[in-house]
């Protein structure tokens, strides 16, 4: 794999200059903060479609296990779609963030390679997307220091996602990295000046931190020509920003409630058969009052590229068993080609490592340019 001429990322990120002003950002700066992050959806989509070149995406995942259905419909599908629209993309394997909620990053290399396999099987193209592990990009991590000075300890402690992660943590004591996790994520996003971040709902509070860091940095260290160094990134939510797991909680790699994208058809059937539902026999789509049933209906609908209501109507009085049969068939049919592609790719681990190596090279060049700019506006050089 080579980086095609004219597509080297360092050249695509002019050193010292931010991206052009993003119209959504201008609107967002006048809007209440809570609305700004969650709004995304249709507005942002339309802006991206009109001008893919004015957008840059950063997303990523922790290498804590293989990706699941929540990842696919929460963010991965959106990444592939944006890539096809021609949006420049960075995808971070967030390896340092694994040790926020556990003492040791277990089987780190294996899990990192497994993420890359899932990405490529889903359709991310390493010639167009820069896929890298953030521990391999020192200048990115160095941004954490000035960024940490921009947020208060009280703000870090209030973050609802951090509180939720602490509640599910396997550690006996909460470590400092857990509290600085959202600021580290701000460095992941801002090192490449990304202005679009396709994420699930659990990441919205973190996105808010990244937006705050960008705004405060720009205010405290204005660029000599009056512009800010960093754009204010926007979350891009999908139609399934919070897919539930088999226990009715957020589907998560680390919570034993996930259906992996790479699971075989029988395992998928068994897991879905065991998914939590409710006692009402009639199947409806009503996320507010019937979250578990509605999440399953939505899953089938997304696999079949349909709206959830007619899927629920079709099952009608068939009950949970019929719902689960429908979901199983839909999932297995939708993911069969991706599973086959993943198995083929898995035969060449050398290639997967090469993708990460080349991604790190490109990410390093971008991070070094951004860090140089940060040091200049801070007066460090
Ligand atoms: P872990 O349990 O190790 O934290 P996770 O399943 O929560 O793993 P992350 O790596 O933390 O996965 O999240 C990666 C991305 O996937 C984030 O953008 C997150 O919002 C999104 N995501 C994770 N789980 C879901 C879900 N159930 N529904 C929708 N999006 C999700
Ligand atoms: Mg998580």
CB atoms within 10 A of CB 220: 12
Extract the tokens encoding 171.
């550690």
Quote the pLDDT of residue 170.
76
Prediction pTM value: 0.88
Strands 129-133 and 196-198: unpaired
For the chain, which domains are there? 24-240+349-378 (3.40.50.620), 265-342 (1.10.240.10)
User: Please, what is the Cα angle at 208 between 203 and 209, to 5 degrees?
Assistant: 100
**pLDDT tens profile 305-326:** 999 999 999 999 999 999 999 9
Q: Where are the extended beta strands (E) located within the chain?
A: 56-61, 88-93, 129-133, 196-198, 234-236
* Cβ-based neighbours of 22, under 8 Å, separated by 6 or more: 47, 54, 55, 195, 231, 232, 234
CB of 69 closer than 6 angstroms to any ligand 1 atom: no
pLDDT at 37: 40
Q: Name the residue at shortest CA distance from atom 18 of ligand 1.
A: 199
CB 255 within 8 A of CB 247: yes
Tell me, using a 6 A CB cutoff, whether residue 40 lines ligand 1: no
Please state the φ and ψ torsions of residue 88, each to the nearest 5 degrees. -70, 140
The pLDDT, as a whole number, for residue 17 is 32
Q: Which of 252, 259, 287 to mutate to test the pocket of ligand 1 (most atoms within 8 A of CB)?
A: 252
DSSP output for 225-276: TS--SS---EEE--S-TT-B-TTSSB--GGGT---BTT--HHHHHHHHHT--
Q: Is 299 in the pocket of ligand 1 (CB under 6 A)?
A: no
Q: Is 241 in the pocket of ligand 1 (CB under 6 A)?
A: yes
- Average pLDDT, rounded, for the chain: 89
pLDDT beneath 50: ranges in the chain: 1-39
Predicted pLDDT at 59: 96
Per-residue pLDDT tens over the stretch 184-199: 999 999 999 999 999 9
State the closest ligand 1 atom to the C-alpha of 254, by its place in the atom list counted from 1.
Answer: 2
pLDDT of residue 41: 58
Tell me the C-alpha distance between 62 and 55, whole Å. Answer: 24
Mutate to test the pocket of ligand 1, among 71, 96, 204 (most ligand atoms within 8 A of CB): 71
64 contacts 110 by C-beta, under 8 angstroms: no
Q: pLDDT for 142-152, tens place per residue?
A: 999 999 999 99
Whole-number Å distance between alpha carbons of 10 and 170: 39
Give the model's pLDDT for residue 317.
Answer: 97
Ligand 1 neighbourhood includes 232 CB (under 6 angstroms) = no
Kindly state if the Cβ of 233 falls inside 6 Å of ligand 1.
no
- Answer yes or no: is the C-beta of 260 below 6 A from any ligand 1 atom: no
Q: What is the Cα–Cα distance from 187 to 193, expressed in whole angstroms?
A: 9
The Cα–Cα gap between 51 and 75 comes to: 20
């Amino acid at each position: 794999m080579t980086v095609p001429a004219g597509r080297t990322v360092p050249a695509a990120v002019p050193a010292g200059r931010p991206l052009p002003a993003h119209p959504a950002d201008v609107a967002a700066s006048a809007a209440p903060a809570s609305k700004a992050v969650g709004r995304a959806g249709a507005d942002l989509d339309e802006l991206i479609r009109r001008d893919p070149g004015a957008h840059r995406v950063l997303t990523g995942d922790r290498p804590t296990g293989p990706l699941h259905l929540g990842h696919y419909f929460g963010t991965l599908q959106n990444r592939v779609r944006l890539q096809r629209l021609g949006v420049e993309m960075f995808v971070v394997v967030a390896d340092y963030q694994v040790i926020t909620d556990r003492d040791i990053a277990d089987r780190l290399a294996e899990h990192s390679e497994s993420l890359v396999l899932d990405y490529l099987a889903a359709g991310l193209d390493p010639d167009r997307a820069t896929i890298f592990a953030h521990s391999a990009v020192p200048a990115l991590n160095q941004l954490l220091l000035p960024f940490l000075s921009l947020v208060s300890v009280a703000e870090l402690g209030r973050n609802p996602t951090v509180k939720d992660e602490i509640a599910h943590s396997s550690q006996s004591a909460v470590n400092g990295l857990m509290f600085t996790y959202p600021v580290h994520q701000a460095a992941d996003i801002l090192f490449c000046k990304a202005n679009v971040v396709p994420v699930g709902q659990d990441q919205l509070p973190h996105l808010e931190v990244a937006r705050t860091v960008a705004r405060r940095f720009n205010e405290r260290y204005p660029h000599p020509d009056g512009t800010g160094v960093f754009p204010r990134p926007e979350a891009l939510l999908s139609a399934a920003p919070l897919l539930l797991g088999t226990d009715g909680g957020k589907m998560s790699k680390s919570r034993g409630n996930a259906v992996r994208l790479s699971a075989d058809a029988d395992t998928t059937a068994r897991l879905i058969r065991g998914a939590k539902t409710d006692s009402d026999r009639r199947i409806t789509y009503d996320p507010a009052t019937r979250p578990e049933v509605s999440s399953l209906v939505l899953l089938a609908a997304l696999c079949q590229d349909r709206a959830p209501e007619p899927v629920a109507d079709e099952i009608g009085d068939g009950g949970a068993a019929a719902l689960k049969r429908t979901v199983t068939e839909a999932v297995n049919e939708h993911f069969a080609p991706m599973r086959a592609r993943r198995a083929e790719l898995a035969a060449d681990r050398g290639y997967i490592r090469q993708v990460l190596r080349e991604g790190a090279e490109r990410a390093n060049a971008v991070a070094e340019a951004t860090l140089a700019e940060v040091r200049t506006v801070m007066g460090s050089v």
